[in-house]
Structure 1
Amino acid sequence: MAAARFRMSRRGVGQLLRSDLVLAEMVRRAEVIKGVAEAIAPVGGPEDPHRGLYKDSFFVQPVRRGGRRRDRAVAVVGNTAPHGAHVEYGTERVRAHHVLLRAAQAGGR
């Protein structure tokens, strides 16, 4: 029996990394991460004027040419709340919640 041989094509791998199939999988994983983030996001107390805004502001954005070299399909999970960075990273008065970090660690499978 002859041994199987494989010859990699850089162009073919590049096309695969930008394909609709890979993009759909990245969006699926991003939606899972978004769902986890929404589930663990803090909503604030009853006196908070922005109660629930952070939790309701998550989004998923597919990007065909993403990544460090702009050579692959990716999906970005983010938050549009004006105070989103403060919730994620904390301030001198508010502890960091790391919602997106924890969601990415728990979700994206």
Structure 2
Amino acid sequence: MLRSPMVQREMVRRATVIRTTAEGIAPVGGDSDPHPGLYKASFYVTSKARGGRRRDRATATVGNRAYYARWVEYGTERVRAHHVLLRAATAGGR
């Protein structure tokens, strides 16, 4: 049951809601940013029929392919953390 196409579709649906929310709240750089909008445009959703720690369930993952996504999410000593995916997962995915 946990690997069924029905469950996998639901996981992808929830991940898509999270991705859409993350795109909506993602920060966009100002005039000095060499790649404004790259972070916002780099969100993606992947799914697996055999995911999880035991590979016994359908999973879907939301991520960001921008090379600096980690710094936007967690911050640095000079830039505050934005927690975009954390906030999107908390707000969306229902």
Aligned partner (choices 87, 95, 103) of residue 80 of structure 2 = 95
Identity %: 70
Please provide the CA RMSD for this pair.
Answer: 0.6
Q: Is residue 80 of structure 2 the alignment partner of residue 78 of structure 1?
A: no
Instruction: Using the TM superposition, give the Cα deviation of residue 47 of structure 1 relative to its aligned residue in structure 2, in angstroms.
Output: 1.5
Amino acid at match of 2:92: G
Q: Does residue 40 in structure 1 map to residue 25 in structure 2? A: yes
> 1:59 is paired with a residue of what secondary structure?
strand
Secondary structure at 1:17 match in 2: coil
Normalising by structure 2, what TM-score?
Answer: 0.98
Q: Scaled by the length of structure 1, what TM-score is found?
A: 0.85
Larger Rg belongs to: 1
Question: Which residue identity lines up with residue 53 of structure 2 in the other structure?
Answer: R
Structure 2 gap ranges (5+): none
Trace 1:18-37 onto structure 2 (pairs within 5 A): 18-37=3-22
Report runs of 4+ in structure 1 exceeding 6 Å deviation.
none
- Distance in 1, matches of 2:69 and 2:26, equals 10
Alignment-derived partner of residue 56 in structure 1: 41
Mapped partners of 1:43, 1:75: distance in 2: 26
Q: Which has the higher contact order (CA 8 A, sep 6+)?
A: 2
Q: Aligned residue pairs: how many?
A: 94
